[in-house]
Amino acid sequence: MRIAAGLILFAVTLPLIPATKETPPQGPPPKPFRLPATDDFTLPNGMKVTIVPYGVVPKVAIRAFVRAGAVDESPSQVWLSKLNAQMMKEGTTTRSAEQVARAAAEMGGQLEMDASWDFTSAGGVVLSDSGPQFVELLADVLQNALLPASEVSRLKADLGRDLAVEKTQPNSLARERFLQVVFPGHPYGRVFPSESQLKDYTVDDVKVFYGKNFKAARTHLYIAGKLDSGLRQAVQKAFSGWNKGDEPPELRAHPVSARSLQVIDRPGAAQSTLYMGLPVPDPTSADYIALDVMDALLGGSFASRITANIREQKGYTYSPFSQIGTRAHQAFWLQVADVTTAVTGPSLKEIFYEVDRLRKEAPPEQELKGIQNYLAGIFILKNTVSPDALIGQLHFVDSQGLERSYLSTYVQKVVAVTPQDIQRVTETYLVPSKMTIVVVGDTSKIADQLKPYQNATP
């Protein structure tokens, strides 16, 4: 939900003139975000539609989210959803790939498709007066994808190159191991396919995945921007004939909260990559917003405590960060840092120190207020930067089963979080003995440093 951002302040001091530190003037209270009135309806085939006016720039964002992603892959199908998304851009039963691309370009945009953990998104941003035509194009791609066998080898080769690069990156290796441990036996824990697995996928595998998952009842179409008067009618005409299909099955994850130290050896590495975290309540929890504020204060902003400690004070790392990652009705807190090999152990010690400090002591009012103002400002910014960003926020609340009022009341709830709330949620949910720790580095140089973290208590 948050945009990772920071402000770097540069101070300039004249020689021989001592600088006088002044308290900055009190800023105005954060303004609440006001969600524009939305037009929501459901087609007879079960497809949901949301249309919302936004701004005066004559552009409109049109994006469909189909509940079809990695969560729908079997253990032998990792990245099949990615291959399917790429294949769907290769034309329809009535348009070639070139015709699809040219049509979108003539409308001032391009067709974009991306498969993620729970959804495949398809759409783009076009000129407002081309909105109805883009709706028709998008409907053709979603309902009538050609999936040509002639393109399978090329697209698999592209994904193979991506896989080869990912497997050389320490952050990718750490992320894979972290998710494997936290979500064992679940698609959320399967990050990369094997090279042979990817090579073995056939066009028939793609067609089965597409035919099973791309249905109207699994789809929510969002339209936001300066609206053309014919959009609602265009949606009804283009999508009403789509097969309803079945509601997607719910594959519940059972994340693990238990101490685990995972070490991946990279001989000669000058740095160690640290991933550490554990499951926390999902966005439907009454504590989620307090956790969001806690994360920003602890490690998720440039002014956070962990950043101040291991970057500013000790110089162990350049860009540590933490975040609350979300899946459908799941969430986990994660701290990441690339640290110099010689300070791998000390870095873990300082991170745990900051976690424990916040578990025991509520933060000062002024420190918390600065974080709250930061979060409120970032939230307003990301909801007003573009219609596509607004669609992202609407999709988040809808896919998590939240009320739309979540967006309208977020700022007020962030500001209402107290220091005692921060201490309480940290103590309750950030339990060091339940954290998974992944370290990618030179085992010969870090093994002794990691010994204190092999047991449940650091």
Residues 384-412 have pLDDT tens digits of 778 999 999 999 999 999 999 999 999 99
Read off the amino acid at residue 339. Answer: V
Yes or no: say if 95 and 142 are a contact pair by the CB < 8 Å rule.
Answer: no
Query: What's the mean pLDDT in 238-256?
Result: 92
Tokens of 373: 């103002």
Which domains does the chain show, CATH number per domain?
A: 39-239 (3.30.830.10), 260-453 (3.30.830.10)
Confidence check: pLDDT of 201 > 70: yes
pLDDT of residue 350 exceeding 80, the answer is: yes
What confidence tens digit (pLDDT) does each residue in 90-109 have? 999 999 999 999 999 999 99
| Residue 114, Cβ density class (10 Å: 0-12 exposed, 13-18 middle, ≥19 buried) | middle
Name residue 249's amino acid. Answer: P
DSSP string, 177-198: HHHHHHSTTSGGG-----HHHH
Flag whether the pTM goes above 0.85: yes
| Nearest of 412, 405, 403 to residue 35 by alpha carbon | 405
Residue 131 CA to residue 391 CA, distance in Å, equals 15
Reference 79, options 209, 214, 177; nearest CA is: 209
Over range 279-308, report the average pLDDT.
97
| pLDDT category of residue 229 using cuts at 50, 70 and 90 | confident
Give the DSSP per-residue string, 387-440.
HHHHHHHHHHHHHTT--THHHHHHHHHHHH--HHHHHHHHHHH--GGG-EEEEE
> What pLDDT score was predicted for residue 8?
33
- Cα distance between residue 185 and residue 155, in whole Å: 28
Residue-level pLDDT at 265: 98
The per-residue pLDDT for 165 is 97
Least confident residue range of 3-12, 187-196, 250-259, 322-331: 3-12
Question: Pairing state of beta strands 39-42 and 48-53?
Answer: antiparallel
Question: Is residue 5's pLDDT more than 70?
Answer: no
Averaged confidence pLDDT in the chain: 92
pLDDT at 20: 41
**Distance, CA of 388 to CA of 95 (rounded, Å):** 26
Backbone angles phi, psi at 387, to 5 degrees: -65, -30
Q: Is residue 78 over pLDDT 80? A: yes
Task: Look at residue 434 and tell me whether its pLDDT is greater than 90.
Answer: yes
